[in-house]
Structure 1
């Protein structure tokens, strides 16, 4: 079997870099894409801002405390989408096996590529160069024999990075990798890993599959495989829309039940509108709550019927809300999504992010 050649391309500080490209007066300055008001959140931060500790999803108030000279710029999603399309035009010069992860990130399978270039790293170099020359933006690239390692490689030398992980280097590379760098290991899982004495890839590899499955469920199988450099997932050129969601960041934190129900109603109405526009049908409803301290939880319910109307969604949303203790923990954000669609043939080929919000 031919060894696969996978490239992961990740645009560096994408939204912020587009703004600095289009507005020369912002170049070299710390900027944040987002809103500066009291309830605002940073959608993206330039590398100049990141040096102060400013990060995406951070409250605007905290960002300004960390970087008093921070310049806020309103996002232009239509512009970012158009630039993303231009980036994908470059990808298609090499392969049509492209799996978008977000507007600024994608996997490419170049095992068989249009120019017939032997080395994937040479393709990655050309893509980075064309993005720089044509779009005046900077990308990082990772090259390896599977998606997990290509993703890790692209993060390894950012910004403007290029890293290749060869098969004969993979196990040694993974052994030194901090557990936080593993795909699917967020802050909560990392904390659990640390409590179990797992801090890096070598310690993860020492764990049996049975142990990891017992501790982390199905994800434990992935962790077991990743620790051994195994990832059999294919680059999927066609993505099926898995869910549709929407959310509201409230003007002020609330804990009064009546106020929460009113906000939940507004989110449910918006969700129904988006479901109608996309002709999307699913039977799992998920409630997302972010508290005043930015702690976040989700609660889900699956039904044996499609959730497409306010009459079916709002009662379930209220039922999920009953599981949330917000009397002593005021709510900052409320979100709802519908997922678990029936994968009908005529609905294939459409992809959409779960939560419709800025990410970088």
Structure 2
């Protein structure tokens, strides 16, 4: 009972810090002019402070340090998260060149790759480190690209954390990070959903992407069915980001140029509300989270878990492509790479 009470206090504290950090930074950002002004490629209609995810970043950095400090890479992981989120914070305050932001992401995510390289059974760890590094950078950017609608990526991160907390052992350090992720997202959501008083900002989306990479890479290192199941709650973000990026590269667009090609952007631009879109994406993720938890509880064989994950992604890609015909791109042509 005491352990449960302590866990509840810690989760409430994480939620409180995320809320207070976002609220205080929104006031500062409003006074300093760190706001997103409406323009033709944005989906909001009023100037809104950005950078509210600074409280989430603070919570995650603290919990990551505490969870992995004893005999683990707590300092390097927490430092990497701060570097990654810090690059986002700089960009929220004053636009950062894409190359500089990518460099900071590469530096910040390197501790993740060193801690949990993919395929560690290889004779040399270098390919596994490089693969894990690219995956971590990709997840940070996927969360950043998908952060353009009230509550969308915060709800996705909340469900990811809930899924990982359910499938990992209670004593696992990743479980502590997962619960902190859930609590921090719950704390921030009232500031951003259904009405946005402050935007998550790159500081928040980078922190959430870093946490997603940490949970995925640690699950991969554990092996078994868990390595496959953790991919399921990432599917909504990765499918829309991946299909959109593939389409833009095929058309010769500059990948980092601002656009409204994501499915969620097209749907909102067509007149559907932010809340409806965020809840639709969350509904998909809630279903696959339930599937992941059921498979974990039933002791699913790893081969079955990977088959299910592959099936979910296959259905998701087909659904995304079909929805793209229903809500086509309506923006004028962009400059080409």
Both proteins in one fold, TM over 0.5: no
Give the TM-score, by structure 1 length.
0.26
Which structure is higher in RCO with an 8 Å CA cutoff and minimum separation 6? Answer: 2
Structure (1 or 2) with the greater helix fraction: 2
Higher alpha-carbon Rg: 1
Structure (1 or 2) with the greater strand fraction: 1
